Structure 1
Amino acid sequence: MSLIELDGVSRTVILPDGDRLEILRDVTFTIETGEHVSIVGRSGSGKSTLLNLMGLLDTPTEGEYRLDGRPTAGLSQRRRARLRGAGFGFVFQQFNLLPGRSALENVAAPLLYAGGREFWTRRRLAHDMLTRVGLGDRADTMPEKLSGGEQQRVAIARSLIRRPRVILCDEPTGALDVQTGTEIMDLLDAIAAETGSTLVTITHDTMVAARAHRHYRLDAGVLGPLDPALLGAPRQVVSA
């Protein structure tokens, strides 16, 4: 049984003039526990919509999305939110850190909605996660005092604080330089391997996509295999 199964999934929206816009068209694929899957596509190809569907932030217009073999169509909004909060971590191109809150407070924020031990030990758990991403000494620093790479590390720590089964990354290196982006992907790969998490990377960068176990291309809402000839070798950072 696959962890994530999309079967004939389409997503259509009605525009203000009444026209129908097909964002996704008959998408069918599966993802297994512990896999790293990349989906490559240009801006407007439907990549973010597909990620939102997998992360229970949106619902298909047609087709079925099964999580752990169970259909998600009949889930209440409350149940979807609980599954999303407990099972999914999101990493976006824009770091979306809370202004006026320290790195530690940003990482601990998801645990404000947790219960029991997670809630009462949230600051220690957040500090431990910041240490895991190499920022234990920056816990009290405000986001505006952090570099782009450091802000993305804080965002990653926040996404992982509840030990999600699935890490969904939407252009995680898009706002970073090449070396910092490579370091961020190294970190994501290492944490996913360590925890056994499933990693899904949505990107336009074939170098980033090349790091995955399986590669797809999304073009005008249609998902298919990515030609291996289009993949570049993963970038390597050489220390001076």
Structure 2
Amino acid sequence: MSTGTLDREPGEVLLELADVTRTVLLPDDEELHILRGVTLRVSAGDHVAIVGRSGCGKSTLLNLLGLLDVPTSGRLDFAGRPVSSLRSNARARLRGASVGFVFQQFNLLPGRTALENVAMPLLYARGRDFWRRNELAMEMLDRVGLAGRADTAQHMLSGGEQQRVAIARALVRRPRLILADEPTGALDVETGLHVMELLESVAAESGAALVAITHDPNVAARARTRYALDQGVLAPAATAAVVGA
């Protein structure tokens, strides 16, 4: 399955943050410092977990990792390219081709079938991927065990099925980076375990990096590298208290 992205090599540095900060200006002109000097390196094939309680800056960090936003200061590189130097449309193209998002709330398109939801990202693809979008979407639905539910509308799918459709949609373009935002937060324990096993399996097969942002220590424990985010400061979990929700 071709996506037009660069071939990935094991150990290739995919994402690098150096002393990254994110600050927003409040209505009273006071500065709110959300991220404070974050340094992080993620290579192809890595499985990383970032754990923190609500309000610690996880969503802001996710937006930076997913190329939805740029730092206030510091350096953020994606595959060696400085993200801050890219215009918003170039950043959007890079994000669409290289990053897959898996959200806690699924964010499926209402009234659309499982197949239509998975094929949606390929509407922005070029060449063969665009013309083969339904075929590629069906292949990914089969990969997540839902080929038989392809024509089922979103509202007729169970929670676990909707999460698997969301995963298939995130992976249909074979992204280099998979960002999972609280991927098991809306699921029971058994379904959540199956979701993580599926994400890990597909990431390993494609050589993609998997970054899970979570407050669940069980999800974090599955990662090879773990970090804790507390009050905007990121530190290795081995030297920082991993805080719960």
Q: Provide the rounded CA distance (Å) in 2 between the counterparts of 1:134 and 1:122.
A: 18
Structure 1 residue 221 corresponds to structure 2 residue 221: no
The residue aligned with 1:160 is 171
The residue aligned with 1:193 is 204
TM-score by length of 1: 0.93
**CA offsets per residue over residues 75-101 of structure 1, 9 Å max, x none?**
011110110000000001110000111
The residue aligned with 1:183 is 194
Q: Aligned-pair distance for 1:69?
A: 2.0
Q: Aligned-pair distance for 1:114?
A: 1.1
SS in 2 for 1:159: helix
The residue aligned with 2:22 is 11
Q: Provide the rounded CA distance (Å) in 2 between the counterparts of 1:150 and 1:129.
A: 13
**CA offsets per residue over residues 14-53 of structure 1, 9 Å max, x none?**
1122221111000012111100000000011111111110
SS in 2 for 1:73: helix
Q: Provide the rounded CA distance (Å) in 2 between the counterparts of 1:28 and 1:74.
A: 19
Q: Provide the rounded CA distance (Å) in 2 between the counterparts of 1:97 and 1:4.
A: 27
Q: Aligned-pair distance for 1:121?
A: 0.9
The residue aligned with 1:149 is 160
**Most deviating of 113-122 and 176-185:** 113-122
The residue aligned with 1:76 is 87
Q: Provide the rounded CA distance (Å) in 1 between the counterparts of 2:219 and 2:83.
A: 30
The letter for the 1-side match of 2:36 is R
Unaligned runs of 5+ in 1: 232-240
The residue aligned with 2:6 is none
**CA offsets per residue over residues 195-230 of structure 1, 9 Å max, x none?**
111000000001100111100000010000113897
SS in 1 for 2:148: helix
**Most deviating of 174-183 and 10-19:** 10-19
SS in 1 for 2:13: coil
SS in 2 for 1:96: coil
SS in 2 for 1:200: strand
The letter for the 2-side match of 1:108 is A
Q: Provide the rounded CA distance (Å) in 2 between the counterparts of 1:229 and 1:222.
A: 10
Q: Aligned-pair distance for 1:122?
A: 0.6
Q: Which runs of 4+ in 1 moved over 4 A?
A: 228-231
Are the counterparts in 1 of residues 48 and 224 from structure 2 also a CA contact under 8 Å?
A: yes
Structure 1 residue 116 corresponds to structure 2 residue 118: no
The residue aligned with 2:144 is 133
Q: Provide the rounded CA distance (Å) in 2 between the counterparts of 1:126 and 1:76.
A: 30
The letter for the 2-side match of 1:118 is D
The residue aligned with 1:67 is 78
SS in 2 for 1:199: strand
The letter for the 2-side match of 1:39 is I
Are the counterparts in 2 of residues 170 and 201 from structure 1 also a CA contact under 8 Å?
A: yes
Indicate the percent of aligned positions where both proteins have the same amino acid: 65
Unaligned runs of 5+ in 2: 1-11
How many residue pairs get aligned? The number is 231
Specify which of 40, 58, 79 is matched with residue 69 of structure 2: 58
**CA offsets per residue over residues 143-170 of structure 1, 9 Å max, x none?**
1111111000000000001000000011
Are the counterparts in 2 of residues 88 and 164 from structure 1 also a CA contact under 8 Å?
A: yes
Q: Provide the rounded CA distance (Å) in 2 between the counterparts of 1:4 and 1:229.
A: 22
RMSD value, Cα: 1.3
SS in 2 for 1:187: helix
Are the counterparts in 2 of residues 206 and 230 from structure 1 also a CA contact under 8 Å?
A: no
Q: Provide the rounded CA distance (Å) in 1 between the counterparts of 2:152 and 2:14.
A: 37
Q: Aligned-pair distance for 1:68?
A: 1.6
Are the counterparts in 1 of residues 228 and 241 from structure 2 also a CA contact under 8 Å?
A: no
